[in-house]
Structure 1
Amino acid sequence: MIGKKIFSLALVLLTASLLQGCGFQLRGSVTLPSTIGPVYIQGLGEYDELRRELAQIFTFSDIPVAAKPQGTGSTLLIDSRASDRRVLSVDGDGNVAEYELHEGARFALIAADGSALVESQTVSAITTYLNSETQVLGKQQEEGTLRKDLQRDLASQIMRRLQAQL
């Protein structure tokens, strides 16, 4: 009985050490200097999907997200956003067969003293989806889901760039 418990504990410890040794991280976490926190996210609405994704990644990375700009270590400034849908192809009858979705943002990380920790730069994400005239509601839901995925991709790109440049 005691031997099984010791074996189970040893197995758990071995698995944990193997995961750490291979560079395993929680999804969405990045290694950022703690001196940038707390971070205030400026330029996005409170319920914006990109803001939610960024806040989640900061939290997973042990960097607190501030509700107000006062008393923060830095500000993540999102100073422009782009969201677009364009026709990619049409069928023989002239109906839209495929759309391309685009999401983009320009960001900079500003220190509390006003200096740029990370200069202003742009990130973007693009995806396509097939359009079906018979499944209009399903395609609207699919576009919404794809846009959320693009927002998640933008947030990941922003965090990777912050990690690389800090």
Structure 2
Amino acid sequence: MRMRAVFLPLMVLLLGTLLTACGFQLRGQAPVFATVSLTSTAGMSELAQIIRSSWQAQGIHFVSVKNSDFKVQLLKESNNHYIMSGFNSSSSTQQYQVVETLYFAILDKKGNYLVKNGQLSASALATQNNTQQYNPDLIESLRSQLASQLLWRLGALKA
């Protein structure tokens, strides 16, 4: 039993060292791009603003369409909620799954499509009762998740 107490931590340390040595990296930061242009259709100004502020915090610079390395077009945003559990006899609470979906396109400097009909989704569970709607910050949180997902998608194209 004593040998096992010494052997197990040693093996964990060895495994951690091997993973670090081979370049394994958990999450990390999204790659930074030189220049990006962001365009959106009418009615998507809130999502576009969240994407701009999130990406600027990551070091992304926004420029005009003609000067950008990548052109990101936000085509459409949809918000759906699905009933997960209904009303019961003891309470009037209902649980929803809220799904925020972004449709987008990404073009290169020459105007060639890198992603033509892209789609990203983020979802969360929300509880609603008779007296209140679900948390209004929920949609903003889902939009922030979409901004991060879109940045990672763009990073995969650059790599």
Q: Please indicate, yes or no, whether the TM-score normalized by the shorter chain is above 0.5.
A: yes
Residue 43 (structure 1) aligns with: 40
Please say if residues 81 and 105 of structure 1, whose CA atoms lie closer than 8 Å, have aligned partners that are also in contact: yes
**Partner AA of 1:52 in structure 2:** Q
Residue in 2 that maps onto 1:110: 107
Shift in Å, 1:95: 5.3
Distance in 1, matches of 2:60 and 2:43, equals: 18
In 2: Cα distance, 1:60 partner to 1:97 partner: 37
> Which ranges of 4 or more aligned residues in structure 1 deviate by more than 4 Å?
22-25, 44-47, 93-96
Write out aligned runs for 1:1-166 (5 A). Answer: 30-34=30-34, 37=35, 39-44=36-41, 48-66=45-63, 68-92=64-88, 97-133=94-130, 135-136=131-132, 139-140=133-134, 142=135, 144-166=136-158
1:58–1:65: 8 Å Cα contact kept in structure 2?
no
Distance 1:106 1:154 in 2: 10
Cα offset, 1:82, TM superposition: 1.2
| CA distance in 2 between partners of 1:75 and 1:165 (Å) | 12
Offset at residue 45 of structure 1 (A): 5.1
Q: Is the 8 A contact 2:38 2:72 kept in 1?
A: yes
With over 3 angstroms needed to count, the CA separation of the structure-2 counterparts of 1:116 and 1:47, relative to structure 1, is closer
CA–CA separation in structure 1 for the residues paired with 2:66 and 2:33 = 20
Alpha-carbon distance in structure 2 between the residues aligned to 1:149 and 1:158: 14
Tell me by how many angstroms 1:44 deviates: 4.5
Which structure 2 segments of 5+ residues have no match? Answer: 1-24
Query: Compared with structure 1, are the counterparts of its residues 45 and 58 closer, same or farther at alpha carbon in structure 2 (3 Å cutoff)?
Result: farther
The TM-score with structure 2 as length reference comes to 0.68
Q: What's 2:11 paired with?
A: none
The number of aligned residues is 133
What is the alpha-carbon distance in structure 2 between the residues aligned to residue 124 and residue 24 of structure 1?
19
Structure 1: segments with no counterpart, 5+ residues: 1-21
Superposition deviation, residue 157 in structure 1: 0.7
Q: TM-score, normalised by structure 1?
A: 0.66
Encode CA deviations 1:75-121: one digit per residue, 9 max, x unaligned. 10122221112322212359561122110012222123211244532
